[in-house]
Structure 1
Amino acid sequence: MSDGNPITPAGMASLRARYDHLLHGERPPVVETVRWAAGNGDRSENGDYIYGRKRLREIDRELGHLAKRMAAARVVDPATQTERHKVLFGCTVEIADDDDNRRTLTLVGDDEQDASRNRIGWSAPLARALRGAKLGDVRVVRLPGGEKNWEVMAINWP
């Protein structure tokens, strides 16, 4: 599953919700403000016009980015995974290093990663090293600070 940009159904729904909010919630009032400000005459000294246009560009740039991410994404539902004995996209894995420091991580799409919730992106170095591992496997992760060994202690699925 290394091809494409995998994303969970919840992750895709979140991208769509953000896109819809920008397109239908934030953009129309800004367009209306710019239209109103443009009708007031001199645009070079019109703050509403200048800042409205700037905000409109920001919204349009983010809409373009979200559209590209959604077009490139491939929705993968972890609940339908058949090889539940391996570390694959969507699983939650408990790992331990050589000093028995344990971490529990969920492998999600790169657009869904959130370190504060222990969700790491599919293309992160640790996720790449753990792909396909089975219970008890030890994987070496190469990081800028050096190599670190991680043993798979548990694999859980939604």
Structure 2
Amino acid sequence: MSSKVPMTVVGAQRLREELQRLKTVERPAVIEAIAEARSKGDLSENAEYDAAKERQGFIEGRIMELEDKLARAQIIDPKDLSAEDKVVFGATVRLEDADGNEVTYQIVGDDEADIKENKVSISSPIARALIGRREGDVVEVKAPGGVREYEILQVAYL
């Protein structure tokens, strides 16, 4: 897989921090747990050893995944964008639905998406509907719960 992975500066930093934690805290801890479980004798019936080895496999897999994503990262700083008020990756968009409710989303990479932080993935239905549109446009979003309509009130590059 050699395709670029779009992510914001903040998203890339979070992945770097997770990678650092896995390498400097989690990996040494699981190696120690394996050594301790090994010292207890028979490995064929040692649940602690099996659990530690499984955890080690997960950690090593995640380290490889993060290193790959960071190597392929196309880091985009929304502050540097000049998209002429268009909704693009990294943009923060304030929307109003048909009932007059307002919501604000930032369009981010798949690994950064967190609805609690109002960050939606570039591959989500709402982001796909918004990309390329401008303030004042009305968009229809085909979501699992049905079609929803939003008016774009503001596009910002924060």
List aligned pairs for 1:2-151, cutoff 5 A: 4-151=4-151
Question: Quick check: 47-56 or 117-126, which moved more?
Answer: 47-56
CA deviations on 1:59-110 (whole Å, 9 max, x unpaired) are: 1122222223323321111111012411111121111122222111111111
* C-alpha separation in 2, matches of 1:108 and 1:51: 35
CA deviations on 1:98-124 (whole Å, 9 max, x unpaired) are: 222211111111111111111111111
Question: Quick check: 94-103 or 38-47, which moved more?
Answer: 38-47
* C-alpha separation in 2, matches of 1:110 and 1:152: 22
Percent identity reads 37
SS at match of 1:83: coil
Question: Quick check: 139-148 or 75-84, which moved more?
Answer: 139-148
- TM-score, with structure 2 as normaliser: 0.88
Q: Structure 1: which 4+ aligned runs deviate by more than 6 Å?
A: none
Question: Quick check: 147-156 or 64-73, which moved more?
Answer: 64-73
Unpaired runs of 5+ residues, structure 1, are none
Aligned positions, number: 156
| Cα RMSD after superposing both structures | 1.8
Letter in 2 for 1:147: V
- TM-score, with structure 1 as normaliser: 0.88
SS at match of 1:88: coil
* C-alpha separation in 1, matches of 2:146 and 2:140: 10
State the 1:39 CA deviation.
4.5
Letter in 1 for 2:78: P
* C-alpha separation in 2, matches of 1:90 and 1:123: 13
* C-alpha separation in 1, matches of 2:41 and 2:56: 20
* C-alpha separation in 2, matches of 1:146 and 1:40: 57
